[in-house]
Amino acid sequence: MNKFELKFSAMIENEAVLRVLVSSFLAPLGISDEEIMEVKTIVSEGVSNAIIHGLENDPNRMVEVRIELDDEELYIMIKDDGKGIEDLELALTPMFSTLKIEEHTGMGFTIMSTFSDEFDVKSAVNHGTEIHIRKYLHHYDNDIV
């Protein structure tokens, strides 16, 4: 099993750094570019939600990410200790967003769930949110054209 854990300040710039780390972690494994893009999107959406919604862009607060890879099974955990989600069922509804500005479409959880094989969100008001994801990867023989 290969894994890494990372804690970083709740600054949106750090989402891009994490995307590069995830890509670098997965690239040598012989999985498709499409699957790497799906994982990067899952992580990007989850981390962006933690930074923007949970921790309200407070650089003094931390987002925690753990990624574990065991053969073809990828486990991702994204956690914040922010304000939590008041109505989780509503938050999981496509197109729902607490931010009413154009670039927040309310599709983050829907996208993460679509690209995941297993998707679970736990949240408590004033205690934060934890997202758990499993994705089964398909390895390809690099010698096959």
Q: Which residue has the higher pLDDT, 89 or 113?
A: 113
To the nearest whole percent, how much of the chain has pLDDT over 70? 87
Residue 16's pLDDT is 94
Average pLDDT over residues 75-99: 83
Which pLDDT does position 115 carry in this prediction?
A: 96
CA 36 – CA 31 distance, rounded (Å) = 7
Fold of the domain spanning 2-136: Heat Shock Protein 90 (3.30.565)
Which tops the pLDDT comparison, 124 or 105?
A: 124
Q: What is the pLDDT of residues 20-39, one digit of tens each?
A: 999 999 998 888 999 999 99
pLDDT, position 120: 97
In three-state secondary structure terms, 61 is coil
Q: Average pLDDT for residues 79-100, to the nearest whole number?
A: 79
Nearest residue to 135 via CA among 69, 78, 79, 48: 69
Q: What is the mean pLDDT of the chain?
A: 89
Domain ranges of the chain: 2-136
Q: Say yes or no to pLDDT of 46 above 70.
A: yes
Q: CA 129 to CA 108: how far, in whole Å? A: 14
Residue bearing the bigger pLDDT, 110 or 133:
133
pLDDT for the residue 45? 93
Query: How many angstroms separate the Cα of 19 from the Cα of each of 43, 78, 89, 99?
Result: 7, 13, 28, 23
Q: For residues 67 and 96, which has the higher predicted lDDT (pLDDT)?
A: 67
Residue 3's pLDDT is: 94
pLDDT above 70: residue 11: yes
